[in-house]
Amino acid sequence: MLSRTADHLFWMARYMERAENTARMLDVNYQASLLPQSADAAEKGWKGLLGISELSGDFAKNHGAITPDNVMRYMVSDAKNGSSIRNCLQAARENARAVRGTLTTEVWETQNQTWLEFQRMVADDSYLRDPSTMFEWVKFRSHLSRGVTVGTMLQDDAFYFLRIGSFLERADNTARLLDVKFHAVESEYYGGTVIGNGQSQGNGNGNAQSQSSGKDIEVDFYHWSGILRSVSGFEVYRKAYRNVIRPEKVAELLILRPDMPRSLAACMQEVVTNLQKVANEQSADTLRKAGRLQADLQYGRIDEILATGLHAYLTQFLERVGTLGVGISRDFLVPVAA
Amino acid sequence: MTPKFDEMHAGDSTVREHYQGYDRWLAAQKSDVMLSRREEAEMIFRRVGITFAVYGAKDEDANSQNAGNERLIPFDLIPRVIPAHEWADMEKGLAQRVAALNRFIHDVYHDQNIIRAGIVPAEQVLNNAQYRPEMKGVDVPGGIYSHISGIDIIRAADSDGEGRYYVLEDNLRVPSGVSYMLEDRKMMMRLFPELFSQHRVAPVAHYPDLLLETLRSVAPASVNEPTVVVLTPGMHNSAYFEHAFLAQQMGIELVEGQDLFVKDNFVYMRTTQGPKRVDVIYRRVDDDFLDPLAFRKDSTLGCAGLLGAYRAGNVTLSNAIGTGVADDKSIYPYVPKMIEFYLGEKPILHNVPTWMCRKEDDLKYVLANLHELVVKEVHGAGGYGMLIGPAATKAEIEDFRRALVANPSGYIAQPTLSLSTCPTYVESGIAPRHIDLRPFVLSGKAVQMVPGGLTRVALKEGSLVVNSSQGGGTKDTWVLEA
């Protein structure tokens, strides 16, 4: 397939996935803001959200005060914010339009319709009255876009590049989410403190929180369940662990569990599988890097990861994902000179 | 102005035979149902993204940066119906005309027999801006130059009030519009399936198949399984939808100039698996932009070295370079003579009577009758650069008179034919609006076409300009099988 076509497909999928993850993040923060909490804690949540997308500086420069409406408007409909849902959906649609002949009619129409409807929905501020409905809608359109892709497209290179785009972006987004949310509670795991060995291995049922006050437990519960909900992982967690919500388990679920569709391990598995299908003469090194990253996740242990420090681990992961993205561009997407 | 001719009605009340079935059906429809169907059609066209870009159009939608200059072409619900016998004649005439035009193009780039025979003046050909000396002596597969021809046909009443078809213009470069023909039919079948069970409407959906067959058949002789691509100027081109649509329907790659490169006189496209050879390029890019080494140096839409590969016979361009020499308005008046010269046949389709202002007598007549003639620039297209005498102001006529006197050979003139009308939905209900027809003729191993073509309609009352860039709409075109 044409390199340029593959490039458009890759980015179409990435932008759609990014829109979805942004909606998920916003929704969790919004839901949290409905709980009784200090103004400080609330602001911290919105700040963290801007931090994930590396937008704190831009926001402060252009909007000043962090209020829920300000941040949501900025992240949903602001045309000047390159990472807003609006710009993601438009970029997804423009990339799709550039290669609409490669997509099935259903895939193209889904992208086009999403963009057209979105413009209507954000024509004024009324969506801010019930932002969750908007976020649900974005998630739904992303599900639809992925589903219609899987359900209608021929499984050829076009399909593989779409999948690579989706999962590379999702790996990036999940890692960022974890990073900022673990940071937010200034968790003991975050900075590199070695925690008690054995406590978080396998199905170990450490009961560390029994020392905490009841109020802390409550705050923790909503914090960690919020993270889980943002990746549709709350019920999954219960099913997988049948236990109270523990931070290290949350981290394990979102980093290492290959059966959790938004975990880093699951995303990298998909990236590797699809990369192998499009391999060409010059892609060996990129494949090797992807495979190694996937193997690190497959054979990793959460206690080791936490021992080295989650932030350091995730920072390194994001760098490796970034390098992979560059490699994929170089090997497949950017037209090589004759 | 010639007398009026309506496709549906003869006189005020009589419905022509081939429209009677439709008329009965229409009379039984509730107007609010039809209104909701119109809205449904618009919604679907928008969702499907059947749009065209308007150059220089102001962005009306403040919320969108890019989508604002994508416009829908208005689609009218009332079909244009052509009886089988009329189409049968037209089809023969089209095949004949396109065959002669292809012979003409071959001739002017080879022996120039038609010039030597004194039928077409040498300067009309050789001084034509569309004449490409680069093509002299180049042999193209099958001697076919215009593989896809869009022949614009109008109907006007003759003196006894009967409708007669005329060829208004030949489009042999990159004629567009066929995607609307296909989408209009799809839309009609979706909105009014019952009409198709009541009428025997000849299908058109196989056009992409015929097109692919045509393109494959003109591949360089040495290639067994040709790789065919569509070359587009990109998504900001006004006809981008059509380029993407045709590539998708044929299952071939849609490439831009930047995707191609030439090495050792062969054309390759850059793919994720490395370079892949390209054998046939259905190019929707004008000659001038095809190869910056040969034509416009500032072009980023083409591919450097393409002309060399083409002249070496290693790739087929469709249509060929230099076809514009035959569809120019200054050549148009000679087409009937071409048919006689190359084929030894009487032309089946009529030309509109045309005065060539380069001839002294013709110019004199034209200048004296500007108020009732249509005057056209010979190189103009898209409904621009023309004067419609009866509709023009005095000042406009005088402006044109000056331009004409200054450069007579730049213009032709024709009587103002009243294009036939067809009932059309407008603000106030249903009213007659002027229409034309563009059938698409495919020339490869054989000449083929799907029945009918694209009917364009001038939505403004009294307007004779059907171009979509100037507010024209489209209609589904039915050829009724006997």
- H or E element: which one contains B461? none
Range B270-290 average pLDDT: 94
Question: Max CA-CA distance within chain B?
Answer: 68
- Concatenated DSSP letters of B119-154: SS-HHHHHT-TT--GGGTT---GGG---SEEEEEEE
Cis check: omega of the bond before B319, within 30 degrees of 0:
yes
Half-sphere exposure of A86 (CA within 13 A, CB side): 20
Q: Which of A2, A98, A99 sits opposite B271 (nearest CB)?
A: A2
Which chain A residues have a beta carbon less than 8 Å from that of B258? 4, 335
Q: Which of B244, B258, B274 sits opposite A4 (nearest CB)?
A: B258
| Tens of pLDDT, residues B168-180 | 999 999 999 999 9
Q: Which residue did the predictor score with more confidence, B383 or B481?
A: B481
Mutation choice for B interface testing from A100, A120, A162, A275 by most B CBs within 10 A = A100
| Tens of pLDDT, residues B186-195 | 999 999 999 9
B424 and B434 Cβ atoms separated by less than 8 Å: no
Choose the weakest-confidence range: A199-208, A296-305, B444-453: A199-208
Using a 10 angstrom Cβ sphere, with 0-12 exposed, 13-18 middle and 19 or more buried, the burial of residue A284 is: exposed
B309 and B293 Cβ atoms separated by less than 8 Å: no
Closest chain B residue to the Cα of A111, Cα to Cα = B47
Closest CA to B271 of B255, B282, B287, B285: B255
Q: Is A79 on the interface with B (CB under 8 A)?
A: yes
Which chain A residues have a beta carbon less than 8 Å from that of B273? 1, 280
- Concatenated DSSP letters of A156-204: SHHHHHHHHHHHHHHHHHHHHHHHHHHHHTT-TTTTTPPPPTTTTSTT-
Which tokens is B363 given?
A: 């110019």
Instruction: Spell out the residues 6+ positions from residue A44 whose beta carbon is closer than 8 angstroms to its own.
Output: A184
Angle at B231 between CA A334 and CA B224, to 5 degrees: 95
Helix ranges (H only) for chain A are 3-33, 39-52, 56-63, 68-76, 85-98, 105-121, 131-152, 157-184, 214-230, 234-241, 247-255, 264-278, 284-298, 302-308, 310-328
pLDDT bracket for residue B333 (50, 70, 90)? very high
At B291, which amino acid appears? D
Residue reference for tokens 């876009």: A145
Cβ contact (<8 Å) for B271 and A278?
no
B352 and B415 Cβ atoms separated by less than 8 Å: yes
Q: Which of A108, A161, A338 sits opposite B49 (nearest CB)?
A: A108
Mutation choice for A interface testing from B253, B267, B272 by most A CBs within 10 A = B272
- Tell me what pLDDT residue B386 has: 84
- Of all residues in chain B, the percent with pLDDT exceeding 70 is 95
| Tens of pLDDT, residues A239-295 | 999 888 888 899 999 999 999 999 999 999 999 999 999 999 999 999 999 999 999
Which chain A residues have a beta carbon less than 8 Å from that of B275? 338
- Tell me what pLDDT residue B63 has: 35
Closest chain A residue to the Cα of B68, Cα to Cα = A116
Distance from CA of A69 to the nearest CA of B (A): 19
Q: Say how far apart CA A331 and CA A275 lie, in whole Å.
A: 11
CA-CA-CA-CA torsion sign (B417, B423, B425, B431): positive
Q: Is A81 on the interface with B (CB under 8 A)?
A: no
B241 and B51 Cβ atoms separated by less than 8 Å: yes
pLDDT bracket for residue A44 (50, 70, 90)? confident
Q: In what order do the strands lie in the sheet with B355-356?
A: B355-356, B411-415, B373-377, B386-388
- Tell me what pLDDT residue B83 has: 95
B465 and B449 Cβ atoms separated by less than 8 Å: no
| Tens of pLDDT, residues B74-100 | 999 999 999 999 999 999 999 999 999
- Tell me what pLDDT residue B264 has: 96
Residue reference for tokens 């209507």: A120
CA-CA-CA-CA torsion sign (B21, B23, B24, B29): positive
Which chain B residues have a beta carbon less than 8 Å from that of A124? none
Residue reference for tokens 């396998």: A202
Average pLDDT, chain A: 87
Q: Say how far apart CA B178 and CA B245 lie, in whole Å.
A: 10
Q: Which of B61, B245, B271 sits opposite A3 (nearest CB)?
A: B271
Closest chain A residue to the Cα of B233, Cα to Cα = A98
Is the pLDDT at A330 greater than 70? The verdict is: yes
Closest CA to A173 of A139, A208, A222: A139
Half-sphere exposure of B399 (CA within 13 A, CB side): 10
Half-sphere exposure of B387 (CA within 13 A, CB side): 27
Half-sphere exposure of B321 (CA within 13 A, CB side): 25
Closest CA to A132 of A72, A70, A44, A42: A72
* Helix A3-33 and helix A85-98, axial crossing angle in degrees, nearest 10: 160
Cβ contact (<8 Å) for B272 and A333?
yes
Count each helix (H run) and each strand (E run) in chain B, helices first: 14, 25
Is the pLDDT at A186 greater than 60? The verdict is: no
Cβ contact (<8 Å) for A4 and B64?
no
Range A33-44 average pLDDT: 78
- Tell me what pLDDT residue A49 has: 86
Using a 10 angstrom Cβ sphere, with 0-12 exposed, 13-18 middle and 19 or more buried, the burial of residue A31 is: middle
Which chain B residues have a beta carbon less than 8 Å from that of A97? 49, 235, 244
Distance from CA of A317 to the nearest CA of B (A): 26
CA-CA-CA-CA torsion sign (B216, B218, B221, B227): negative
- Tell me what pLDDT residue A177 has: 87
Q: Is A6 on the interface with B (CB under 8 A)?
A: yes
Closest CA to B225 of B280, B298, B177, B270: B280
Highest mean pLDDT among A221-230, A264-273, B36-45, B293-302: A264-273
Q: Say how far apart CA B117 and CA B125 lie, in whole Å.
A: 14
- Tell me what pLDDT residue A28 has: 84
Cβ contact (<8 Å) for B47 and A116?
yes
- H or E element: which one contains A84? none
Q: Between chain A and chain B, how many beta carbons pairs sit less than 8 Å apart?
A: 83
Q: Say how far apart CA B22 and CA B26 lie, in whole Å.
A: 6
**Residue ranges of A 112-151 with Cβ closer than 8 A to chain B:** 112-113, 115-116, 119, 122-123
Q: Which of A112, A280, A335 sits opposite B273 (nearest CB)?
A: A280
Half-sphere exposure of A255 (CA within 13 A, CB side): 29
Which tokens is B193 given?
A: 């399936």
Distance from CA of B243 to the nearest CA of A (A): 8
Closest CA to A179 of A2, A48, A66, A288: A48
B98 and B441 Cβ atoms separated by less than 8 Å: yes
Q: Is A152 on the interface with B (CB under 8 A)?
A: no
A283 and A262 Cβ atoms separated by less than 8 Å: no
Query: B75 in helix, strand or coil?
Result: strand
Query: B169 in helix, strand or coil?
Result: strand
- Tell me what pLDDT residue A33 has: 81
Is the pLDDT at B396 greater than 60? The verdict is: yes
Distance from CA of B481 to the nearest CA of A (A): 31
pLDDT bracket for residue B303 (50, 70, 90)? very high
Choose the weakest-confidence range: A52-66, A205-219, A311-325: A205-219
Which chain A residues have a beta carbon less than 8 Å from that of B48? 105, 108-109, 112
Is the pLDDT at A66 greater than 80? The verdict is: yes
Distance from CA of B182 to the nearest CA of A (A): 15
| Tens of pLDDT, residues B212-233 | 999 999 999 999 999 999 999 9
A122 and A76 Cβ atoms separated by less than 8 Å: yes
Which tokens is B411 given?
A: 């213009």
Q: Say how far apart CA B363 and CA B355 lie, in whole Å.
A: 7
- Tell me what pLDDT residue B50 has: 80
Indicate if ipTM > 0.85.
no
Cβ contact (<8 Å) for A116 and B261?
no
pLDDT bracket for residue B383 (50, 70, 90)? low
Other C-beta atoms closer than 10 Å to the C-beta of A35 total 12
Closest chain A residue to the Cα of B240, Cα to Cα = A98
Closest CA to B294 of B322, B270, B268: B322
pLDDT bracket for residue A214 (50, 70, 90)? low
Which residues is B479 bridged to in the sheet? B82
CA-CA-CA-CA torsion sign (A174, A10, A152, B176): positive
Which chain B residues have a beta carbon less than 8 Å from that of A6? 272
At B19, which amino acid appears? Y
At A250, which amino acid appears? V
Displacement of CA B449 from its chain's centroid (Å):
13
Using a 10 angstrom Cβ sphere, with 0-12 exposed, 13-18 middle and 19 or more buried, the burial of residue A234 is: middle
Which tokens is A199 given?
A: 């406590």
The β-bridge relationship of strands B228-231 and B253-255 is parallel
- Concatenated DSSP letters of B399-417: HHHHHHHH-GGGEEEEE--
- Tell me what pLDDT residue B381 has: 60
